[in-house]
Structure 1
């Protein structure tokens, strides 16, 4: 069984299932870790900064306003996540360079792809509560993601 199925068997009352709106990119399909958040719209300056500074093993959760016009992550930012050993990235928005990202040992869930690069204004917020995909994404909550779905828990769960 997969990670999320095992968690649901053991801790169903402690998790919330995100709506199944995400596509998977990268070679890592299963990941878990504590949530760090960024709230941006078509601007990935704060995304890059977060990827460069959040702790190893973390999951960066990005509220991108569901925009599919401009990519919030490409292969260069995915390489930062890879090199810093981040657990994964969940984007309520789009990525680009999907072919390259799919060849990398990273785990990314996003709404889809676009070839357009992001805007570079540096606008947005970090480390704030977010809400999308019918889930509250709070800094410090835990994410468990695999091919079966994405679960969010207020605490780390043991199997």
Structure 2
């Protein structure tokens, strides 16, 4: 996809931002799913635990090239995103989804034109109680991140930036 910035180049050209903490590198704990190997955009945050109701609510809104970051508490006991939600995200214009937790329906997700990162896959579906928070600061994979900061992901890793970056 043209116009995407490589994370390695962003780190090389923004050493000052790395040093100041305005550019942060997530720990390499995520697996890649979906057809987009690289994606970026402004962040929307959701904090939930084994309940994906707020994930669906977020993905039902226009994505406008944003990246949904889901803090699922690192749970490895159920899938927080499946094939139906990945297709919804694709159709609503989301650039990507990062899940601090698991996904399911991996073959379906891999058929979608969206970038997805998650800790692992798990066949069990999540609860549907509607419990959680949107637009809250998160701490995932060793970094703090907030709504409207920028996320850059490719095969080398995931970066969080306080502002939109260019080379």
User: Into which bin does the TM-score normalised by the smaller protein fall?
Assistant: over 0.9
The whole-number CA distance in structure 1 between the counterparts of 2:31 and 2:90 is 19
The whole-number CA distance in structure 2 between the counterparts of 1:12 and 1:135 is 17
Number of residue-to-residue matches in the alignment: 159
The whole-number CA distance in structure 2 between the counterparts of 1:52 and 1:82 is 10
> Which ranges of 4 or more aligned residues in structure 1 deviate by more than 4 Å?
none
Q: 5 Å matches for 1:19-98?
A: 19-53=27-61, 55-98=63-106
User: 1:13 maps to which residue?
Assistant: 16
**Deviation digits for residues 80-127 of structure 1 (CA, Å, limit 9, x no counterpart):** 110011110000000000011112211000000000011000000000
Task: Give the TM-score normalised by the residue count of structure 2.
Answer: 0.92
Task: Give the TM-score normalised by the residue count of structure 1.
Answer: 0.96
8 A contact 2:62–2:92 mirrored in 1: no
User: 2:121 maps to which residue?
Assistant: 113
- Aligned-residue Cα RMSD (Å) equals 1.3
Corresponding residue SS for 2:93:
coil
